[in-house]
Structure 1
Amino acid sequence: MTKRVLIVEDEIFVALEIEQIVQQSGLDVIAIAADREEALAVASLCDIALVDLNLRDGPTGPGIGMELASRHDVRVIYVTANPDQIGAASDTAIGFVTKPFGPHCIAAALKQAIAEECDPEESRTDGFTPFLAARDAWRGGESIH
C-alpha cells in the first residue's frame, strides 16, 4: 500500500515543491494544510506528515506534530529553517529537514519514514537530521510513537 503524506506548510510555493518531491518518491499527497485546524481535519487519513513550525496560525507546528504522532500514529518530519524551535516535539518525530532544502533531503526523510527498521546514522544527509528517540525506537524494534 502506498503511504499517504500530509504537508503542513503555509507558504504555497514551498508546499507545492514538497508535493512534487513526495510524488516523485512514489507516495501520495492527501492534503496540504496551512494551519492546525486544516492539518487535524485530515490527520486520520495520513501515514506521514511533513510539518513546518511557523504556520498561518502562528508557531503551532510542534504541537501539531506531537498531536499527529501521539493521537493518530503519524510519522512526523519537521521541515524548518529554525530547528531549535522544535523542542520537546522532537520526542515524537523522526527528524527534521532544514530549509532551504534540496529534493534529496526530503527524499531521505521520507525513506526513513517508510522504513520499518533502519540505522538513522546511515540516513543522515546534508539537510536531514534524524532524532535520537527515533534511533532508539528503531534499534529496539518498537514503534516510534
Structure 2
Amino acid sequence: MTKRVLIVEDEIFVALEIEDIVTSASLTVSAIAADSAAALRAAPESDIALVDLNLRDGATGPGIGQVLAERYGIKVIYVTANPSQIGSASAAALGVITKPFRSSTIKAALALASQDNDNEELDYAAIAGFTPFLPRLGSLRGSEYSE
C-alpha cells in the first residue's frame, strides 16, 4: 500500500515543493496543512508527516508533531530552519531535516519512514541534512547522499 504523507507547512511555495518531492518518490500526499487544526483533521488519513515548526497559528509544529506521533501513530519528520526549537517533542519523531533542504534528503527520509517494520535494522548512507532522533533508525553512515 502506498504511504500517505501529510505536509504541515504554512509557506505555500515550500509546501508545493515538498509535494512535488513526495509525489516523485511515488508516495501520496494526504493533505497540505498550514496550521495545527488542519493537520489534526488530516491525521487519520496519513502515515507519515513532514512538519514545520512555525505555522500559521504560531510555533505549534513541535506540539502537533508530538500529537500526530503519539495519538495517531504517524511517523513524524520535522522540516525546519530552527531545529533547536523542537525541544522535548523530538522524542516522538524520527528526526529533523534542516532547511534549506535537498530533494534527495526528503526522499531518503521518506524511504526511511516508509519502512513497515519499526524493528528492522536499517543501514542507510549518510543523509546530508537529516538528524535522526530514535535509535531504532540504525546508523546513518557512509558517503554523503547527494542528488
Corresponding residue for 1:119?
Answer: 122
Q: Runs ≥4 in structure 1, deviation > 4 angstroms?
A: none
Contact preservation (8 Å) 1:112, 1:123: no
**Structure 1: how far apart are the matches of 2:94 and 2:13?**
24
CA apart distance, 1:98: 0.5
**Structure 1: how far apart are the matches of 2:46 and 2:105?**
20
What TM-score does the superposition give when structure 2 sets the normalisation length? 0.87
What TM-score does the superposition give when structure 1 sets the normalisation length? 0.89
Contact preservation (8 Å) 2:33, 2:39: yes
Q: CA RMSD in A?
A: 1.3
Identity rate, percent: 61
Gap regions ≥5 residues in structure 1: 140-145
**How do 1:70-85 and structure 2 match up within 5 A?**
70-85=70-85
Q: 1:56 to 1:112 in 2, by over 3 A?
A: same
More helix by share: 1
Partner AA of 1:20 in structure 2 = D
**Structure 2: how far apart are the matches of 1:138 and 1:96?**
13
CA apart distance, 1:101: 0.5
Contact preservation (8 Å) 2:94, 2:137: no
The alignment covers a number of residue pairs equal to 135
**Structure 1: how far apart are the matches of 2:126 and 2:60?**
26
Gap regions ≥5 residues in structure 2: 139-147
